[in-house]
Amino acid sequence: MFFIIFDANMDVFYSIDLTIFYFFNHTISTGFLDKFFSIITNVNNWYIAYIILFGMLIFKGGRIGKIAAVGVILLIVVTDQTGYRLLKELFQRARPCNALSDVLTPLGCTGSFSFPSNHALNNFAAATFFSKLFPRYKWALYITASLVALSRVYLGLHYPSDIIAGAAIGMIFGYAFAMAVLKIDNVITAKQKKVKLPSSGGK
């Protein structure tokens, strides 16, 4: 009985997943959005932004900015490998462009697995990481991460559930790494205060 209910729920879930997928991949499909999301989704188009970001962290971000620069590199290495090497191999879900016959693929398809979306995982990890450390930029960070994630569905490369899972996992990692950076910064601050304390010995 349990397995029958579980299978029925999975069918409903997949039906919702497909409905949302086709909305982005078919219903709103236009030439302009093809170009827009093709640009947004390509990591090569973000290199200049990454260089500027690292420059700001190192030269304008103070001590916590320097720690964050190292932290975000480690974060993306961990999330990228977790998604690509571990989770994708574990679930082995075919991409919609490989599983469905009528998917629109402005950028073509790829043979790698679909679940979760590494684009969503990495970008939401970074967005959460920087939002925790630099809250004033959180809206820009999350809007950017959302556009990148949605581009994967629009381009026929991921189901909505792939990006939701990737975003959720990424946010957990991003929060954990941000807390680690704040902890390191607090430890350094505490040590510096100890060094600056006047000697208690009398003259």
**How many Å separate Cα 87 from the centre of its chain?**
14
- Please identify every residue annotated as catalytic: 119, 158
Cα diameter, the chain:
87
Is 82 part of any domain?
yes
Please give the Cα distance from 188 to 201 (Å, whole number).
Answer: 25
Mean pLDDT of the 180-194 span: 88
Instruction: Note whether residue 177 is domain-resident.
Output: yes
pLDDT, mean over the chain? 91
Distance of alpha carbon 123 from alpha carbon 146, whole angstroms: 8
Q: Yes or no: say if 113 and 138 are a contact pair by the CB < 8 Å rule.
A: no
Dist. CA 39–CA 44, nearest whole Å: 9
What percentage of the chain exceeds 90 in pLDDT? Answer: 79
Segments forming the whole domain that contains residue 50? 2-190
| pLDDT at 184 exceeding the cut of 90 | yes
pLDDT digits (tens, 9 = 90+) for 69-107: 999 999 999 999 999 999 999 999 999 999 999 999 999
Residue 184 within any structural domain of the chain? yes
Does residue 23 fall inside a structural domain?
yes
Alpha-carbon span 69 to 56, nearest angstrom: 10
Does the structure show a pLDDT above 70 at 55? yes
Task: State how far the Cα of 105 lies from the Cα of 128, in Å rounded to an integer.
Answer: 30
The whole-number pLDDT of residue 5 equals 46
In-domain check, residue 51:
yes
Q: How far apart are CA 72 and CA 67, in angstroms?
A: 9
The CATH number of residue 182's host domain is 1.20.144
The token pair at 31 is 């030439």
Number of structural domains in the chain: 1
Smallest CA-to-CA distance from 161 within 105, 72, 99, 75 is with 99
Q: Write out pLDDT tens, residues 129-161.
A: 999 999 999 999 999 999 999 999 999 999 999
Q: Distance between CA atoms of 181 and 57, rounded to whole angstroms?
A: 13
Which residue blocks in 29-159 are alpha helix, DSSP H? 31-41, 47-60, 62-81, 88-91, 96-99, 118-133, 138-154
Reported confidence tier of residue 191, pLDDT bands at 50, 70, 90: confident
**Is 200 a member of any domain?**
no
Q: Looking at residues 7-34, what average pLDDT do you find?
A: 90
Closest listed residue to residue 115, CA positions, set 92, 138, 136: 92
Does 40 reside within a domain?
yes
Asked whether residue 198 is assigned to any structural domain, the reply reads: no
Residue 29 buriedness (CB in 10 A; 0-12 / 13-18 / 19+) = middle
